Amino acid sequence: MVIVEDNICFECGFKGELHQHHVVPQVLGGTRTIPLCTSCHSKVHSKDLTKFSRLAKIGRKKAMERGVKMGRKMGSCETEEDFLKKDRTKKIISLLGDGKSVREISSILGVSTKTVVKTRKKVL
């Protein structure tokens, strides 16, 4: 039996900011988790290892069956002014100004690279 410590990465032993990884995907009924650092957690969710997109699709379907509304209302559109006022957008612009790459910003802020690219296109 392996003893799992909550404040240490289960895989590499890192002590710091940790994620709780579901051993059995939550959308498939999993309830138990293990602590993983960001690096190890991203390795687990590599597209080749877990087919994360398939799990996300199942999760979205179950959420919609529970009545959760997903995405924006059809035909709605955020104004450029509202987009530029968001704290996340301001942070991305600041990091772009500091010379950070799209991937670095994505990792730092926990946003998709598409979000960073979209922001960069709007401000350039």
DSSP-derived letter for residue 72 is P
Give the span between the Cα atoms of 111 and 70, in whole angstroms.
Answer: 18
Domain boundaries, the chain: 18-65, 80-123
> For each of the chain's 124 residues, which pLDDT tens digit applies?
455 667 899 999 998 888 899 888 888 888 999 998 888 888 887 655 456 677 778 888 888 888 887 777 777 788 888 888 889 999 999 999 999 999 999 888 888 888 899 899 887 7
User: Nearest 10 degrees: CA dihedral of 25, 31, 34, 39?
Assistant: 30
Cβ-in-10-Å burial (0-12, 13-18, 19+) of 9 comes to buried
Q: What is the pLDDT of residue 47?
A: 53
pTM over 0.75, yes/no: no
Q: What is the pLDDT of residue 77?
A: 80
Cβ-in-10-Å burial (0-12, 13-18, 19+) of 111 comes to middle
Q: What is the pLDDT of residue 58?
A: 81
Q: What is the pLDDT of residue 1?
A: 46
**Residue count (the chain):** 124
Give the span between the Cα atoms of 94 and 108, in whole angstroms.
Answer: 12
Q: What is the pLDDT of residue 49?
A: 47
102-109 and 87-97 helices, crossing angle to 10°: 140
Q: Residue 61: enclosing H or E segment and its boundaries? A: helix 52-65
